[in-house]
C-alpha cells in the first residue's frame, strides 16, 4: 500500500501542475491577444471584461488587394464600441494555418461570434466543429467553406462569383460581335486568383461555361497570380514571353490587372478598347475604374467588399433569436467604357 502511494504521489503532483498551468494560460488568453507584429496588446480593456459588448473575432485572409483593404475597413468601421461591439481582428497573411490558429484563439477567448473569410474552401471541418462544440456561431463571409456538415457554420454572405465569371464571358461575346470579330480565332489567357478560393473557382468556372460554347475561343494558358499585383505582373510577363499573340486577358482581380497592364506596356503592347489586348477584370475598385476611364481596361465585373453592415444585421437578428438565411448574395453590377463613370467614381466608397 505504502509503495503504491509513493508511486502515485509524483504523478498527482505533476497532474496538479499541469491543470494549474492550463488554467493560468487560459485566463491570460482572456485578457490579452497578439497583434500582427507579435506584440501582446490588451484586448479586453473595456468595462467589466466586455460586459454589454458583443465580442466578434474576425479571421481575415490578408491584405493582398485593394478589395481586401476596403473589406477590412468595412468590418472595422462597423464593429465599433459605439455600435456595441468589441472586434478582435486577425490578419492571416494568406495562410490557411494562421486562420486555424486564429479561430482556435477566438474559441479560447470565448468570443460571442466568429466571422471567417476563408482563404480556400477546404480544410475547415475540424476547427469549425471545435467552434460548434464551444457554442460559438460562425458567420462565413466573401469566400465559402466546403464542409461535410453544413450545420458547422450559421450562414454565408458574399458575391456570386460564378455569375461574375459568366457575365464576363457574355460581355466578351457581345463585345466581339460589336467589333465584327465573332468568327475570328480569339486567343485568351487567364490570371487566376488563389487556387481553391471560391472567387477563383467561381470566376474560372463561370467564364468556362461561355467559353465552352465558342469553338473559336482558345484558352492558351491559365495560371494563378494569387490575387496580387506583383504575381499578376510576373505571370503576365511569362504569358507574353510564351505567346506572340494574345487577344484577351481575363484577370480575376483588379490588382493582378494592374500588374498585367505594367507587363503589357513593358512588352511594347497596348491594352484596352483602342489597344492590342482586351482586358477583362474583376472587383471594380476605384483605381481600376480610373484606368477604365483612361482607356486601359475594357470591362470590370463588380465584387462588393462592403460586407460589414450585412454581417452586423445578421448578428442583430441572431441576438434577437430570429432565423437568418443560410446563403446571402450581395447585389453587383459591371462597368465598361460605354458608360459614363466619372461622377460615379467620385462617390464610390472603394
Applying CB under 6 A, the residues found at the interface with ligand AHR are 64-65, 67-68, 142-143, 197, 199, 227, 253, 282-283, 303
Nearer to ligand AHR (CB atom), residue 197 or residue 211: 197
Which of residues 68 and 296 has its CB atom nearest to ligand AHR in the complex?
Answer: 68
Q: Are strands 278-283 and 217-224 parallel, antiparallel or unpaired?
A: unpaired
Q: Residue for cell digits 493582378?
A: 256
71 vs 154 by CB, closer to ligand AHR: 71
Positive/negative CA dihedral, 98, 103, 104, 106: positive
Minimum Å gap between C-beta 256 and ligand AHR is: 8
* Min CB(291)–ligand AHR separation in Å: 15
- Angle, alpha carbons 64-107-129 (nearest 5°): 90
CB 177 within 8 A of CB 158: no
The strand ranges marked E within the chain are: 32-34, 40-42, 54-60, 85-91, 113-116, 138-141, 155-158, 186-192, 217-224, 248-251, 278-283, 299-302, 327-329, 334-336
Q: Are 159 and 197 in contact (CB under 8 A)?
A: no
In the complex, the smallest distance separating the C-beta of residue 315 from ligand AHR, rounded to whole angstroms, is 21
Closest distance to ligand AHR from the beta carbon of 159 (Å): 7
Closest separation in Å from C-beta 115 to ligand AHR: 14
65 vs 109 by CB, closer to ligand AHR: 65
Specify the residue, 66 or 102, whose C-beta has the smaller distance to ligand AHR: 66
CB nearer ligand AHR, residue 50 or residue 232:
232
Smallest CA-to-CA distance from 230 within 207, 253, 205 is with 253
CA distance 259 to 33: 36
Closer to ligand AHR by CB, 109 or 224: give it.
224
What's the min distance (Å) between Cβ of 335 and ligand AHR?
Answer: 15
Contact in structure between 53 and 84 (CB atoms under 8 Å): yes
From the CB of 140, what's the least distance to ligand AHR, in Å? 12
The residue to which cell 461570434 is assigned: 113
Amino acid at each position: 500500500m505504502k509503495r503504491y502511494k509513493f508511486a502515485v504521489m509524483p504523478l498527482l503532483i505533476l497532474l496538479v501542475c499541469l491543470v494549474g498551468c492550463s488554467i493560468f494560460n487560459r485566463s491570460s488568453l482572456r485578457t490579452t491577444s497578439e497583434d500582427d507584429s507579435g506584440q501582446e496588446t490588451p484586448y479586453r480593456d473595456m468595462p467589466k471584461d466586455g460586459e454589454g459588448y458583443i465580442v466578434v473575432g474576425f479571421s481575415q485572409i490578408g491584405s493582398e488587394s485593394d478589395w481586401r483593404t476596403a473589406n477590412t475597413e468595412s468590418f472595422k468601421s462597423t464593429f465599433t464600441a459605439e455600435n456595441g461591439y468589441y472586434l478582435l481582428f486577425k490578419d492571416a497573411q494568406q495562410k490557411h494555418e494562421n486562420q486555424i490558429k486564429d479561430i482556435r484563439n477566438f474559441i479560447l477567448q470565448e468570443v460571442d461570434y466568429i466571422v471567417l473569410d476563408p482563404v480556400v474552401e477546404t480544410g475547415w471541418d475540424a476547427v469549425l466543429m471545435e467552434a460548434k462544440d464551444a457554442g460559438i456561431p460562425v458567420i462565413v463571409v466573401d469566400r465559402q467553406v466546403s464542409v461535410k456538415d453544413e450545420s458547422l457554420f450559421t450562414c454565408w454572405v458574399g458575391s456570386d462569383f460564378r455569375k461574375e465569371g459568366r457575365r464576363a464571358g457574355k460581355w466578351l461575346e457581345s463585345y466581339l460581335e460589336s467589333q465584327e470579330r465573332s468568327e475570328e480565332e480569339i486567343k485568351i489567357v487567364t490570371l487566376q486568383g488563389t487556387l481553391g478560393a471560391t472567387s477563383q473557382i467561381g470566376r474560372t468556372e463561370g467564364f468556362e461555361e461561355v467559353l465552352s460554347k465558342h469553338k473559336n475561343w482558345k484558352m492558351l494558358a491559365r495560371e494563378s497570380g494569387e490575387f496580387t499585383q506583383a504575381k499578376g505582373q510576373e505571370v503576365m510577363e511569362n504569358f507574353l514571353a510564351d505567346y506572340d499573340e494574345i487577344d484577351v486577358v481575363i484577370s480575376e482581380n483588379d490588382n493582378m490587372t494592374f500588374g498585367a497592364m505594367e507587363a503589357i506596356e513593358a512588352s511594347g503592347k497596348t491594352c484596352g478598347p483602342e489597344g492590342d489586348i482586351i482586358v477583362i477584370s474583376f472587383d471594380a475598385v476605384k483605381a481600376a475604374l480610373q484606368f477604365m476611364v483612361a482607356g486601359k481596361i475594357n470591362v470590370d465585373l463588380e465584387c462588393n467588399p462592403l460586407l460589414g453592415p450585412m454581417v452586423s444585421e445578421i448578428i442583430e437578428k441572431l441576438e434577437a433569436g430570429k432565423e437568418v438565411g443560410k446563403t446571402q448574395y450581395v447585389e453587383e453590377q459591371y462597368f465598361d467604357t460605354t458608360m459614363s463613370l466619372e461622377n460615379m467614381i467620385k462617390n464610390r466608397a472603394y
